[in-house]
Structure 1
Amino acid sequence: MTTIISNGTPISYRIYGSGPATLLFVHGSFIDQTYWKEQVSFFKEKYKVVTMDLAGHGESGTSRSEWTLRGMADDVVNLIKELHLENVILVGHSLGANLILIAATTYPDPIIGFIAVDNFKNLATPLPAEYDSQVEEIIESSKRAYADTNEHYARMVLLTPDTPQWITDKVVAAYRNSYEPMGQQTLPQFFMMDQIEREVLPSLRPKMNLINVNYMPTNVEALEKNAVNGYALIEIAGTCHYPMLESPKALNEALDEVIDGVLEAKVTA
């Protein structure tokens, strides 16, 4: 296991290949860098590919008393700095997309591309007030029965009855077995991400590229309104939040298209 120390915590990472750009893949909540296996295999022949485990996930450490999303985004920045990464195209799935948004606006100089996978479907848009009681119930339920609450959320929001059983089993196990102190502290912050998005989006230099799965629609009006420095949306077919597992070929093709566009834009800039 290869690590850096960020905010006092070992952060596990792996590096593959070499090339004209670095693809830094950041996974989502409660899963780990191994979910990018098919992307690593596809892209390592053309680019330097870096994957990481977020703090409290996978092989990374859990030695924090305070767990914040901004702290996790700092870990992404610290990895870029520690490894002296250049020409970085950030690829973030789910929570990872939120973190790379913060990272890209905190430390913009080496970042040439931004790709979110199945996120920002209601960009910078707060939940309607009528959902406030449901949010409170989710948070309170998590305190009473953490693993059960996580499983219920995964099944209701991230998976569908049509999702292949092996993916459902894998994701449910990851959610049930996640590190509880981290999960408890970060859960309320998930419901405040719209505020952070509105705050940092004007500072995002690269175009916001989205590759979303059509099992849940993307609010294009929210993108038009809030992606102030431009966006592009590719939708791929699927039944769940995990295209790297369910549709790796389609995801790789979409990523390849976006990455080519990022590099062409850099050459002509």
Structure 2
Amino acid sequence: MFFDVPGGRLAYDSEGEGPLVVCVPGLGDTRDAYRFLRPPLVEAGYRVVTMDLRGHGESSAEWDDYSQTAVGSDIVALLEKLDAPGAVLLGNSYAGGAVVHAAADAPERVAGIVPIDGFLRAVRPTVVVRLIASSPRLWSLYYGRAHPTAKPADLAQHRARLVALLREPGRHQAMRAMLLNGAPEAEHFISEVHCPVLVLMGARDPDFPDPAAEARTQASLLRGQAVMIDGAGHYPMSEFPDRTAEALLPFLKNVF
């Protein structure tokens, strides 16, 4: 399914019935990042909507703005289209900052947020990050290593699809624009978030020098709670979906 916003078209899927949970993948990824987490959430009685970022997956390829603010506005537009009374937003990596923006921008539509290994604070792109941004193949190598413990059985196929998509005109540029954004805007909206917050973080996330410390800091700034997913890297929802669901379901029950 698709919906239009100023500048392009965004792709999304919907499955299940019940309170709304919207899942947003990180940069360089697609909504299939939640392919293993969606079934236990649907089984638990939630409507799970997954969406592709602008420039990614089946969404339009070329946009003028790839900022977290723009992605947050896309999420709000989806909530308006779905016309749900309140939703919990999950955002992985770059989209962790986007769900913070959405919660600040549309508090009446957001019941809670869950940044998953999210980039919420300003970071300086390292030489390694710049190398990863230089080609779809190097991105694929990083993506594999960001699953350090329990690699999904279909990881090779998922990575191959990501590479194929990133080689389409405009899509690699979209990923680069997000990856090299060293000043995520989410930091400016943190004080405006007043809904319940759960920070999920992989204990072996290679993107943070001290993942546990980063999770605690984010939870403190957002006045929420932090849960570490033991053994997980940057994508706990695909590496350890059962553990991620175990951490998430009590939060959802309390919010709804």
Same fold (TM > 0.5): yes
SS of equivalent residue, structure 2 residue 37: helix
1:32 to 14, 30, 33: 30
Output one character per residue of 1:225-245: Cα deviation in whole Å (capped at 9) or x when no partner: 883441211112224222222
CA contact 2:88–2:110 (8 Å) conserved in 1: yes
Q: Conserved in 2, the CA contact under 8 Å of 1:31 and 1:171?
A: no
Determine which of 192, 199, 220 is the counterpart of 2:183: 192
Alignment of 1:104-119 (within 5 A): 104-119=103-118
TM value normalised by structure 2: 0.82
Does structure 1 residue 205 correspond to structure 2 residue 194?
yes
Whether the aligned pair in 1 keeps the contact of 2:232 and 2:240 (CA below 8 Å) is no
Q: How many residues in Structure 1 have an aligned counterpart in Structure 2? A: 246
The share of aligned pairs that are identical, in percent, is 21
Q: How far, CA to CA, are the matches of 1:238 and 1:231 in structure 2? A: 22
Cα separation, partners in 2 of 1:222 and 1:233, compared to 1, 3 Å: closer
Whether 1:169 aligns to 2:156 is yes
Residue 26 (structure 1) shift:
0.8
The alignment partner of 1:58 has SS state of coil
Indicate the RMSD between aligned Cα atoms, in angstroms. 2.7
Tell me by how many angstroms 1:125 deviates: 5.8
- How far did residue 24 of structure 1 move? 0.8
Counterparts of 1:185 and 1:64 in 2: how far apart (Å)? 11
Maintained 8 Å contact 2:199/2:219: no
Deviation of residue 248 (structure 1)?
1.3
- Label 1:173 to 1:256 Cα distance change in 2 as closer, same or farther (>3 A): same
> Residues 147 and 51 of structure 1: is their aligned pair in 2 closer, same or farther, counting only changes over 3 Å?
closer
Please name the residue that 2:14 is paired with: 15
Gaps of 5+ in 2: none
Cα separation, partners in 2 of 1:125 and 1:164, compared to 1, 3 Å: same
Which of 247, 256, 267 is 2:240 aligned to? 247
Which is helix-richer, 1 or 2? Answer: 1
**Aligned pairs for 1:68-217 within 5 A:** 68-119=67-118, 124=121, 126-127=123-124, 134-135=126-127, 138-139=129-130, 141=131, 145-151=134-140, 153-154=142-143, 158-160=146-148, 162-164=149-151, 166=153, 169-170=156-157, 172-173=159-160, 176-177=163-164, 178=166, 179-189=171-181, 191-193=182-184, 196-216=185-205, 217=210
- Aligned to 1:71, the other structure's residue is in SS state helix
Structure 1 gap segments, 5+ residues each? 264-269
With over 3 angstroms needed to count, the CA separation of the structure-2 counterparts of 1:29 and 1:221, relative to structure 1, is closer
Q: Tell me how far 1:152 sits from its aligned partner.
A: 5.1
Aligned pairs (5 A) from 1:212-251:
212-216=201-205, 217-220=210-213, 223-224=216-217, 227-251=220-244
Deviations 1:93-113 (A, max 9, x none): 112211111111111111111
Q: Secondary structure at the match of 1:102?
A: helix
Deviation at 1:70, TM superposition (A): 2.2
Kept in 1: contact 2:204–2:211 (CA 8 A): no
TM-score of the pair, normalised by structure 1: 0.79
- Structure showing greater Rg: 1
Distance 1:222 1:90, change over 3 A: closer
Evaluate the alpha carbon distance shift between residue 153 and residue 212 of structure 1 in structure 2; reply closer, same or farther with a 3 A threshold: same
